[in-house]
Amino acid sequence: MRESIKIFYQDIGNSFKDLLPIIIVVAIFQTFVIQKVPENLSSIIIGLTIVAIGLALFIRGLELGIFPIGESLAVDFARKGSVFWLLLFAFTIGFATTVAEPALIAIANKASIISHGLVNAFWLRMTVAISVGFAIALGTLRILLGHPIQYYIISGYILVVVVTFFAPKEIIGLAYDSGGVTTSTVTVPLVAALGIGLSSSIKGRNPAIDGFGLIAFASLTPMIFVQIYGIVVYSLGGDSLSSDIIQTVVQSSTATAHKVESFSFINAFLDLLGVFKDVAPILFVIFFFQYAIIKKSVAHLHKIVVGIILVIFGLYAFIVGLEMGLFPIGETIAFQLTVMDNNLLIYLFGFLIGFATTMAEPALLAIAIKAQEVSEGNIKQNILRSVVALGVAVGIGLGAYRIVAGDPIHYYIIAGYSVVIIMTYFAPQYIIPIAYDSGGVTTSTVTVPLVTALGLGLAENIDGRNPLIDGFGLIAFASLFPMLTVMGYGIYGDIRVTKTSTK
DSSP secondary structure string, 365-412? HHHHHHHHHHTTTSS-HHHHHHHHHHHHHHHHHHHHHHHHHT--HHHH
For residues 125 and 111, is the Cβ–Cβ distance under 8 A?
Answer: no
Name residue 41's amino acid.
L
The C-alpha atoms of residue 302 and residue 64 are separated, in whole angstroms, by 10
**DSSP character string of 326-367:** IHHHHHHHHHHHHTSS-HHHHHHHHHHHHHHHHHT-HHHHHH
Q: How many CB atoms lie within 10 A of CB 38?
A: 17
pLDDT tens for each residue of the chain, 503 residues long:
677 777 778 878 878 887 888 888 888 888 888 787 777 778 888 888 888 888 888 888 888 888 888 888 888 888 887 889 999 999 998 888 787 666 677 678 777 876 778 888 889 989 999 999 999 999 999 999 999 998 998 899 889 889 988 998 888 888 887 877 776 666 788 888 889 888 888 888 888 888 888 988 988 899 999 999 999 988 876 544 444 434 444 444 444 434 444 556 677 677 788 778 778 888 888 889 989 888 888 888 888 999 989 988 888 887 788 777 766 776 677 677 777 778 898 899 889 988 988 888 877 888 898 888 888 777 888 999 999 999 999 999 999 999 888 888 888 988 998 899 899 999 998 899 999 998 877 766 666 767 777 787 778 777 788 776 787 788 889 889 999 999 999 998 888 877 777 76
By residue count, the chain amounts to 503
Residue 416's nearest CA partner among 399, 441, 434 is: 399
For residues 152 and 436, is the Cβ–Cβ distance under 8 A?
Answer: no
pLDDT at residue number 237: 67
The C-alpha atoms of residue 241 and residue 115 are separated, in whole angstroms, by 6
Give the residue extent of every domain in the chain: 25-502
For residues 322 and 281, is the Cβ–Cβ distance under 8 A?
Answer: no
Residue 128's nearest CA partner among 195, 224, 214 is: 224
pLDDT at residue number 32: 84
Radius of gyration of the chain (CA): 22
At residue 448, the 3 state secondary structure works out as helix
Q: How many CB atoms lie within 10 A of CB 458?
A: 27
The alpha carbon torsion through 456, 462, 466, 470 (nearest 10 deg) reads: -60
Q: How many CB atoms lie within 10 A of CB 491?
A: 15
For residues 310 and 279, is the Cβ–Cβ distance under 8 A?
Answer: no
Q: What's the predicted TM-score (pTM) here? A: 0.78
The C-alpha atoms of residue 71 and residue 68 are separated, in whole angstroms, by 5
For residues 179 and 219, is the Cβ–Cβ distance under 8 A?
Answer: yes
Residue 479's nearest CA partner among 277, 182, 274, 276 is: 182
The C-alpha atoms of residue 160 and residue 224 are separated, in whole angstroms, by 5
CA angle, corner 496, sides to 396 and 488, nearest 5? 20
The C-alpha atoms of residue 479 and residue 437 are separated, in whole angstroms, by 9
At residue 116, the 3 state secondary structure works out as coil
Side-chain half-sphere exposure of 330, counting CA atoms within 13 A? 27
pLDDT at residue number 80: 81
Contacts of 302 (CB under 8 A, 6+ apart): none
The C-alpha atoms of residue 428 and residue 406 are separated, in whole angstroms, by 37
CA angle, corner 70, sides to 65 and 72, nearest 5? 100
The C-alpha atoms of residue 447 and residue 449 are separated, in whole angstroms, by 6
Chain-centroid distance of CA 276 in Å reads: 19
The alpha carbon torsion through 139, 145, 147, 151 (nearest 10 deg) reads: -50
